[in-house]
Amino acid sequence: MDKRRMFSINEDPRSATTLPGTFYHHPDVFEQARERIFARSWQMVIGAEDAVKLPKDALPYRFMDHFLDEPLLLLNDENGHLQCFSNVCTHRGKILVEHPVRLERGSIVCGYHGRRFGLDGQFVSMPEMQQALNFPCADDHLPKIPLRRWRQFVFNALEPAFDFDAWVGDMERKVGFLPVEQFRFAPERSRDYLVKAHWALYCDNYLEGFHIPFVHKDLAATLDWSAYRTETYAYSNCQVGISKGGEHVFDLPADHEDAGQAVAAYYFWLYPNMMFNFYPWGLSLNIVRPLTVNLTKVSFRAYVWDPSKLNAGAGADIDLVEREDEAVVEQVHLGTQSRFYRHGRFSPERETGVHHFHRLVGTLWGNS
């Protein structure tokens, strides 16, 4: 199977066909996506904002739990700067830090043979190595992992295929007027869902408003379908929801590119698996994590800015919308396994976001 060619998507949505059913169900494709898609992407370090608040705090974690389990270490150095390193000792490969901890001695010490590293990841010392030649060398330091911050959120990548600013910059331009760093995490409004479907089918569904009148009756009642639109950027896109009645909308600055429009929601997707849904009350963040070819974990994390605007407008009943999406995506997952399903066609008017996603998959897959 020539996967590079089969995932090539025509740039013209009027002529293009979607990713083939094979992409969603072939186990070899799913395995290759770990490296071709996710190892080259930016991913959020969930909970980082609370776990490493003080100098010398350290948080061990996996890049993507139960999918791409690369052991990493996030730490706050002596100067209060966040750093990220491999959490694997460069001597014999033991995990260095096993639990969240404050490194009071100002160093990382391997519990296997006593190899010591500074909080900058540099090798410091190790017992019984006096006779070793060409020691220490560059391979004895901890590999440093790319780490970036957007507002209150922390992201990293193993081998990023694109620049962080190119990835997040359009979202910053669009919602930069919001004090996102002041949004408060609301655990009582946050939860995980298990969806019995391929991760990319969940993204496909998110990336088009085409299904809203058919699947989300309550949501459709709040939005002006004729004004609903999708804007595509380099590595992200945004669906702009306009309020049907003109209420429960953003107070946009006079110089905003959408000034004068009754915007009820900005639905941002960042390649390949992250959704930032901005409402007048705050942010609903969706992180889509593959578990198996047939199972996906979707983490909903709510960040509230204005509690008085909760339970109204486009962001009123997110749990209901998720349940409706989950049901239809699971049916699509079953259907795309059919021996008679090859691929679909895009609605040029309503599925530009899905086409954009499939184009990115095809382009970046072929370049990996």
Q: By CB neighbour count within 10 A (0-12 exposed, 13-18 middle, 19+ buried), where does 353 fall?
A: buried
Q: What is the distance in angstroms between the CA of the first residue and the CA of the last residue of the chain? A: 17
- The per-residue pLDDT for range 214-267, each reduced to its tens digit, is 666 677 677 787 888 999 999 999 999 999 887 789 999 999 999 999 999 999
Give the mean pLDDT of 54-78: 95
Map out the domains of the chain with their CATH numbers.
44-149 (2.102.10.10), 180-367 (3.90.380.10)
pLDDT at 79: 86
Q: Is 51 left (phi over 0), alpha (psi -120 to 50) or beta?
A: alpha
Under DSSP, the state recorded for 198 is -
In this prediction the pTM is 0.92
Q: Cα 64 to the chain's mean position, in Å?
A: 10
At residue 105, does pLDDT exceed 70? yes
Chain segment 6-35, per-residue pLDDT in tens: 688 999 999 999 999 999 999 999 999 999
d(CA 133, CA 12): 59
Q: Looking at the predicted structure, is the pLDDT value of residue 1 above 50?
A: no
**Mean of the per-residue pLDDT values for the chain?**
91
